[in-house]
Chains A and B, each alone.
Chain A
């Protein structure tokens, strides 16, 4: 367990509103990831970070931005939420020493 918490766990919002999801880790691992999980698609990478202020895009990054101002926090922002962004979002970390992958509990976002 890498001490990963996500917030909020559930959110319902309206189209066009901004949304920020937070991922917090307690062990200061370097690599953090945001994925979305949708039926039939499995987990798809949105953005990832390899250190403070170091981030890069994944395969489904359009409409999302991220920030990492502290090692322990990785924020995912939807600037203007759309219904296609209704999904379950998972944060993950790759443990520095072993490369083992650990996930947060997930955040279920519904955009009406």
Chain B
């Protein structure tokens, strides 16, 4: 059963703020993915992780396998970070998507 819950659904932040988006899932996973989609744009893979933490520039993704929870952090947010962020649970070769968190960063 797919249950990938993201919070918040919508988020507005001032430029420079530290942002956290949360993702919870209910079953075991092979991996957890974070995707980014800019308005009217394509979908880009940000992270794929199965344990611990990964960092890329100002983006950090963490996962706690025992608690079935992942977070995406954005440090020093910028208006160009405005996008929808999607959490994806991966079990084998099947992928289950959250409905996304819409982030708006105001200058």
Query: A residues within 8 Å of B by Cβ?
Result: 31, 33, 40-45, 48, 50, 90, 92, 94, 98-106
Residue of A nearest to B93 (CB): A31
Query: B residues within 8 Å of A by Cβ?
Result: 30-31, 33, 35, 42-45, 48, 86, 88, 90, 93-95, 97-100
Chain B positions within 8 Å of A45 at CB level: 94-95
Min CB distance A57 to B, Å, is: 12
Residue of A nearest to B87 (CB): A42
Residue of A nearest to B43 (CB): A103
Q: Is there contact, CB below 8 Å, between A99 and B31?
A: yes
Interface residues of chain A: helix, strand, loop or mixed (majority): strand
Q: Is there contact, CB below 8 Å, between A101 and B99?
A: no
Min CB distance A52 to B, Å, is: 16
Min CB distance B86 to A, Å, is: 7
Given contacts A43-B86, A98-B48, contact A106 B97 (CB under 8 A): no
Chain A positions within 8 Å of B100 at CB level: 42
CA distance A101 to B37 in the complex (A): 14
4 closest A-B pairs by CB: A42-B99, A103-B43, A43-B97, A105-B42
Min CB distance A38 to B, Å, is: 10
Residue of A nearest to B99 (CB): A42
A-B contact pairs, 16 of them (CB 8 A): A33-B95, A42-B86, A42-B98, A42-B99, A45-B95, A90-B43, A92-B43, A94-B93, A98-B48, A100-B45, A100-B48, A101-B35, A102-B45, A103-B35, A105-B42, A106-B42
Min CB distance A21 to B, Å, is: 15
Chain B positions within 8 Å of A42 at CB level: 86, 97-100
Q: Is there contact, CB below 8 Å, between A50 and B42?
A: no
Chain B positions within 8 Å of A99 at CB level: 30-31, 48, 90, 93
CA distance A105 to B41 in the complex (A): 7
Q: Is there contact, CB below 8 Å, between B99 and A40?
A: yes
CA distance A41 to B99 in the complex (A): 6
Given contacts A31-B93, A50-B93, A94-B93, contact A103 B98 (CB under 8 A): no
